[in-house]
Structure formats: C-alpha cells, structure tokens
Amino acid sequence: MTVSSSAFDLPDRLAAKRDPALIAVDEQHFALIADSLERSIDDLSHRLDEERKAPGGEGEAALTRDLEIHRLTAQLRLLRRFGLDLCLGRMVSANDPDPVYVGRLGLTDPEGERLLVDWRSPAAEPFFGATYANPMGLVSRRRYRWTRGRISDFWDEVFTPEGFEGNAALDDESAFIASLGSSRSTRMRDVLGTIQADQDAIIRAGSPGALVVDGGPGTGKTVVALHRAAYLLYSDPHLVNHRGDVLVVGPHAGYLAYVDDVLPSLGEEGVQTCTLRDLLVEGAAAAHETDPAIARLKSSADLLRAVEAAVRYYEEPPSRPMTVGTPWADIRLTAAEWAEAFDSADPGIPHNEARDQVWEALLDILVDLFDDGEVPLHLVRRSLVQNEELTRTFAKAWPLLDPAGIVGDLWSVPAYLKLCAPWLPHADFELLQRTDARAWTVSDLPFLDAARQRIGDPAAARRNRRREAAIASAQEEMARVIDHLIEADDSELQVMKMLRGQDFQNTLVDEAALPNADPDLLAGPFAHIIVDEAQELTDAEWQMLLSRNPTRSFTVVGDRAQARHGFTESWQRRLERVGLTEITMASLSINYRTPEEVMAEAEPVIRAALPDANVPLSIRSSGLPVIHGSVADLGSIVERWLEAHAEGIGSLISAAGPGGTASAVVPPSPRIRSLTPELSKGLEFDLVVLVDPESFGGGIEGAVDRYVAMTRATQQLVILTS
C-alpha cells in the first residue's frame, strides 16, 4: 500500500494549503502509515487463516477461538475499508515538537514506533478535548477531511503563538462547522474526526451507575451514545474481554438502520442494537394501545407485580397429604413434605426450569421415606416416576406454563386479575379486560417480558430432557462399542480396557454436536446498556432493560422536552423510581445541527406547551428562511428541491406518514422519505417539509411532535397548511 502519489487532493480554491511547508511532514508520515498498513493487513490475513485452520476445540477453548476470529476479522475489515483515512488528524504539544497522529485504531511501524494512537486512548484525549480556554498542553491541532481515500481539506487550530509554526492553514470556520453544512444521506455521517470537547467528555466518562446525557435537538446525543459504546468496549475492564456485552436501544427500526454503520466504522461489530419491540417475538406485530387510560395503567411498574402473583398461583404445594403406592409398600407424603420439595428450587431460577428440580427433590423425599431395605432404591424411584396419580398431582400443583398464556389470562379472566392485583380499583379491573386475550399491544410487552423472565422458555424443559436423553443414549451406545473393542483386544497389555475410564467415556461423547437451542442474543445479561430517546420509556418498559443489566450500568440519552406524553419530573426522580440509584448528570446545550433560522421558528412551538423546555443554542446559520406555503404546492416544492440539489435527502412529515395523501403527490424518489413525527426521532434531513402540522394534535403531544419534526432539518424547513 505504498503511497505513489500525494495523500492530498486539494481543490484549486485551496491552493494555498498545498504549500510544502504545511503538508510535507504529513506526506512523509502517511508514507510510513501506508507501509505499516500493508504489513498489518498481510499479518492479520495470515493470522486469521491460521486461526481458521486450527482445531475448533470445545467449551471455553471454542469460545476463545471464535472471539479471536471475530476480533481479527473486524480489525482486518476496518483496515481494508479505510486505508490511509484511518487517520483523523494530528496534534502538537508544548513538550514535543513532533506531531502525534490520531487514528481510528493504533498503529506502529516494525520498530515499534507509534504512527497512530487509537482515538480512545488517553494519549488522544487532547485531540478532542482541547479548547482555547483549556488547550490541555497543545499548541496546535489539525483535522483532515477525507474524500475517496485522499485529503480534500484540512483545518488548523492554534492555541499558542508557537502553534503558528508549520500550521498556517487557518479558516474562518472550523472543520466541525464546515462538516455540518454537508449533505446528509440515509446513514449517519462519519463524525469521529470532528467530535467536540463537550461531547468527548461524556464519551469518556466512567461506566458505573447510570450516566444521563440530557440535551435538546441537534446537540449530538446520538453521536455521544454510539461513540461511548465503542469507547467503553476499548477502555472498560468489565467489557474489554467480553465483546457483545453492550446493548444499544433505539426508538424505532428507522433509527437502527440510520446508525447501522457507525459502530462498524469504529471497529466494533459485536454490539447488539434493538428497539424495545425487538426484545420479544410478540413485539413485531404488537399494535399501539388506542385507549390512553389503559396505556397509563400498563405503564406502571406496580402492575407488573401481578405477573409474579400469577406465576406463584401455580407454585402452591398441595395442602393435603397423599398416599403414594409402590409394588412393595405405600408411602405417606405429608403437606409439610410437599412444601419442602417446593422450596427446594434454586432462588431466581425460572418456573419451568425449577419444575425439574422440584420433581427430583420430591422423588428424593419419597425414596428416603421408603423403609424396605431389601428393594433396590433405583427400582423404587422408577416406580415413583411411573405413578400416574403422583405425576398427575404434581403436574397440577406445578404445571409447565406459557408466558403468553399467563398474561392473556390476566386480561381476560377477571377473577384471576383480582387475585393477582387485589389493590386495583374495580373500574381498572373492567378497563383492563378484553375479548381477545392475545391481541398484543406495545403496552403488553413489559408484562410478556416479565412473564418470560419469571417462567422461562416453555420448551426449555422439554429441550433439556431431550438433550439429556440424547447424551444418555450416546453414552450407552459408546459403552457397547467399548465392550466390543475390549472383547476383540488380544494384545498383551490389554490397552482397550483404558476406555472404561470415565474421562475417556466423557471425551468420546461429543456433547457439542448434540441438539441445542440457538441463544437469544437480546436476552442478556449485558454489562452496559445505552438507551437513546429514553424520555419515552415508561416505568414498566424500564423493567425490561433492568432485568437484562444486573450491574445497573446505563447510558441514558434523552430530552425531557421531547417526551410525547410529558416529563414533568427530573431525570433523577424518574430513574430512582424505576430502580436506578447511582445517577450522574451530563448536559449538552449547543445545537450543532439545526440552523438558527429553524430554531427561531421551533422554539416558540415547544415553549408554548413547556415554558421551561431545555432549548439548545444553535451556532450555525444556513442562510435559508423557513418557507410557509400551501399543501397544494407540495409536489412542485419537492420537485424543485430535487432538481436544485444533486445530493442530500429530504423528508415529508405528516400525521399519516407514508400512508397519507401527501406522499402520493410528490415525485417518487429514494431521496425523499415520508414519516410520522414519532418515526422521525433520531434522524436528520437536508430538507424537512411539515404537512399540516396542526393535525399532529393538541396539548403536549402535539407540540412535541411539531417541535421534533421541525428540528430534523439541517438546511431547509418548509411548513405547508391546507
């Protein structure tokens, strides 16, 4: 990958920046990086081939090998994807005149000399964190803009008079502000090289407890959240050796598609991303709750207690003694002994998995009570297992349960709900009942999840029994083979007898090849969870995430002013109520995305409903006024914008979204999307057209929807009314 031509491809308007005094040092350094990259790619390719050819092994060894293959593959893909543009920029400190180059990952030459420092390392922190008020020891900083693998522009920032030496490529606007004016696409832009000091401080914050990142539209909350995931996987000792222990939760599928490439571009491909719907199979088809009163009831974490009571109802030991017959003698089983067996399950084990433990404990108790010493105990146990009355009584007292069935019964059997939630007023009992027990809504998902956590997979016990039977069958077959080999062994040392050893028998049966269930990658536990648009989560929905994060390590990203159903309390109070205790606040107050022309129009909209809304300060202007017009002009407005802009994307935001009449009158184009306000959250567009914004509704929800929709614009906002 030796550089045969300049890494710089500066346009004629930037001819002054081609001065060798400005770029000669960079050119020499990029040549070294190119040579190192070529060697690194060859080395990684060789190591990956060797790792793939190596024996797979079993258990921990197999997992370690798979993780190493995944790590090498991700690193190789990153090197091949970026090449020289792995380099983000350089910085010069007061103590060392030689520039330090910062990259997406660390890189050294064959002698071990540092060519690039990883952006997440402590050594790179001044590159992102230095400001004129706090230079962090720097005299200058340079950021590059890469286009198709070559530098199309660069910007110098000088913090001291000494920094001007070799750094005269100064502009009226910074690299970051210049990047904000570029056209958007269907995926979030790569912004690593232009992360600002306030964002970087939050990215590098520690992971214990819950870190709340509060900020208005355009402050870079999503950027912070995603880059924080990559940073924690690099720096946090709890996460470094466990790729995949981080979960990122977004508001909707469009958001996940928009940010899909961010973490891979940072070299992290093992992070799980999902919406709350994705945590359950029922989530895909779940409808919105149409009755606000029902949605309010189901938003409470208190009502989730009904799930525990509903399951406990099926874990009650028989209160009467019974006589269990065997071919040799009857065994008297008392209520106390039933209770002893039912109390034997390990704490926290799901109901269906605990069932086997309780059954085995019950058999142990009965075998211990059998007092005929002449009968082999394994025959007694076999007789008990085949006792229909005993198995029928046990199945009724501790049945296998279906999580969906339990929740469905709560919403369709009034007496069952009253038994499990006796504190509810009578009117609420009636409100929660419905004819179709399994007509799932989004509000049901926390209850289904709680039931699944408490009950477990309904088929898990059956799968375990099938697996155990398969292992026993394989061991029995192997025993027959060993017996045959020993009989046929006529050697003097009789070496085949060694196969009777337990270690040999265990080795000869490949349990990894036996049937097993595919793991649920979203089941957890996760060491850290990042929640974007967290202001929308109900108390009940928070429990879905807390159950997957026993360490309570969270990054909570949101804006109280963008909560569609209101958010009058503080973050501290909300999170403490749902179960988080160690809470740290961080705030972003600068709007880097939304032009001041748009914010001037959007701010009064939200303040009319929420006077104390945290409206961020916009620091850029697009020079384009907000356009007001008629819905009748929608088609021509979009058509003219597409003709005038060869790049960029736009969005029509209406109450109806893609199924509305507005989307039918615009020219079909992959660069124009039709969305509802709710589905526009977390996204950004060069052009935003609001269609009849007053139809979004009244009150806080309507105001928030209008505010969110307006602030998606990075260049032009158009508001059309009928």
Q: Which single residue is written with the structure tokens 């297992």?
A: 385
Does residue 294 sit within a domain?
no
Looking at the structure, do residues 508 and 616 belong to the same domain, yes or no? Answer: no
Using CA atoms of 237, 239, 243, 247 in order, give the dihedral in degrees to the nearest 10: -170
How many structural domains does the chain have? 4
Q: pLDDT averaged over the chain? A: 87
Does residue 576 sit within a domain?
no
**Is the model's pLDDT at 461 over the cut of 70?**
no
Q: Where among 352, 367, 397 does a domain terminate?
A: 397
* Rounded Cα gap, residues 382 and 341, in angstroms: 18
* Rounded Cα gap, residues 16 and 22, in angstroms: 9
Nearby residues of 132 by Cβ (< 8 Å), 6 or more positions away: 159
Least confident residue range of 53-67, 145-159, 316-330: 53-67
Pick from 233, 241, 203, 204: nearest CA to 221: 203
* Rounded Cα gap, residues 291 and 299, in angstroms: 12
Looking at the structure, do residues 50 and 171 belong to the same domain, yes or no? Answer: yes
Does residue 154 sit within a domain?
yes
631, two tokens: 């819905």
Does residue 362 sit within a domain?
yes
Looking at the structure, do residues 172 and 32 belong to the same domain, yes or no? Answer: yes
Does residue 411 sit within a domain?
no
Looking at the structure, do residues 20 and 132 belong to the same domain, yes or no? Answer: yes
Count the helix, strand and coil residues of the chain and give each as a percent rounded to the nearest 5: 50, 15, 35
Nearby residues of 196 by Cβ (< 8 Å), 6 or more positions away: 128, 176, 220, 590, 592
Q: What is the DSSP string of 53-105?
A: HS---SHHHHHHHHHHHHHHHHHHHHHHHHGGGGEEEEEEETTEEEEEEEESS
Confidence band, pLDDT 50/70/90 cuts, at residue 491? low
* pTM across the whole model: 0.85
Looking at the structure, do residues 478 and 606 belong to the same domain, yes or no? Answer: no
**561 vs 521, residue with greater confidence:** 561
Confidence band, pLDDT 50/70/90 cuts, at residue 504? very low
Q: Which single residue is written with the structure tokens 């020219």?
A: 667
**Is the model's pLDDT at 599 over the cut of 70?**
yes
Does residue 66 sit within a domain?
yes
From the number of C-beta atoms within 10 Å of its C-beta (0-12, 13-18, 19+), residue 656 rates as: middle
Distance, C-alpha 260 to centroid of its chain:
11
Least confident residue range of 23-32, 200-209, 510-519, 578-587: 510-519
* 634, 642 Cβ separation under 8 angstroms: no
pLDDT score of 1:
45
pLDDT tens track for 602-651: 999 999 999 999 899 998 899 999 999 999 999 999 999 999 999 999 99
**Is the model's pLDDT at 58 over the cut of 80?**
no
The strand pairing partners of 8, in sequence order, are: 151
pLDDT score of 516:
54
Determine what percent of the chain is predicted with pLDDT higher than 70.
86
**Is the model's pLDDT at 401 over the cut of 90?**
yes
Looking at the structure, do residues 491 and 638 belong to the same domain, yes or no? Answer: no
**469 vs 156, residue with greater confidence:** 156
Residues at the binding site are 215-222
Backbone angles phi, psi at 440, to 5 degrees: -65, 140
pLDDT score of 256:
92
pLDDT score of 540:
98
Residue ranges making up the domain that contains 636: 596-720
Does residue 612 sit within a domain?
yes
Find the CATH number of the domain harbouring 682: 3.40.50.300
Pick from 449, 443, 448, 445: nearest CA to 291: 443
pLDDT score of 168:
54
pLDDT tens track for 271-289: 899 999 999 999 999 999 9
pLDDT tens track for 145-159: 998 899 999 988 888
pLDDT score of 603:
96
* 80, 64 Cβ separation under 8 angstroms: no
Confidence band, pLDDT 50/70/90 cuts, at residue 2? very low
Average pLDDT for 489-516 = 53
Pick from 400, 420, 386: nearest CA to 462: 400
Q: Which amino acid is at 42?
A: D
* 669, 691 Cβ separation under 8 angstroms: no
641, two tokens: 């914008």
Q: What is the DSSP string of 418-445?
A: HHH-TTS-HHHHHHH--SSTT--BGGGH
Residues at the binding site for ATP are 215-222
* Rounded Cα gap, residues 43 and 50, in angstroms: 11
Q: Are strands 528-531 and 554-558 parallel, antiparallel or unpaired?
A: parallel
pLDDT tens track for 643-693: 999 999 999 999 988 877 777 778 788 999 999 999 999 999 999 999 999
What number of CA atoms fall less than 13 Å from residue 524's CA on the CB side?
Answer: 22
pLDDT score of 311:
97
Looking at the structure, do residues 31 and 164 belong to the same domain, yes or no? Answer: yes
Pick from 325, 683, 342, 652: nearest CA to 532: 683
**Is the model's pLDDT at 400 over the cut of 80?**
yes
Confidence band, pLDDT 50/70/90 cuts, at residue 185? low
Looking at the structure, do residues 165 and 35 belong to the same domain, yes or no? Answer: yes
Looking at the structure, do residues 157 and 21 belong to the same domain, yes or no? Answer: yes
Looking at the structure, do residues 103 and 26 belong to the same domain, yes or no? Answer: yes
Backbone angles phi, psi at 81, to 5 degrees: -75, -40
What number of CA atoms fall less than 13 Å from residue 86's CA on the CB side?
Answer: 27
Pick from 114, 103, 131: nearest CA to 198: 131
Angle formed at CA 245 by CA 298 and CA 345, multiple of 5 degrees: 65
**Is the model's pLDDT at 510 over the cut of 50?**
yes
Does residue 4 sit within a domain?
no
Q: Which single residue is written with the structure tokens 């077959």?
A: 477
Looking at the structure, do residues 20 and 162 belong to the same domain, yes or no? Answer: yes
Looking at the structure, do residues 38 and 161 belong to the same domain, yes or no? Answer: yes
Q: Where among 470, 494, 513 does a domain terminate?
A: 513
Backbone angles phi, psi at 607, to 5 degrees: -70, -25
Confidence band, pLDDT 50/70/90 cuts, at residue 87? very high
Q: What is the DSSP string of 554-584?
A: EEEEE-GGG-TT---S-HHHHHHHHT--SEE
* Rounded Cα gap, residues 594 and 430, in angstroms: 47
Q: Which amino acid is at 606?
A: I
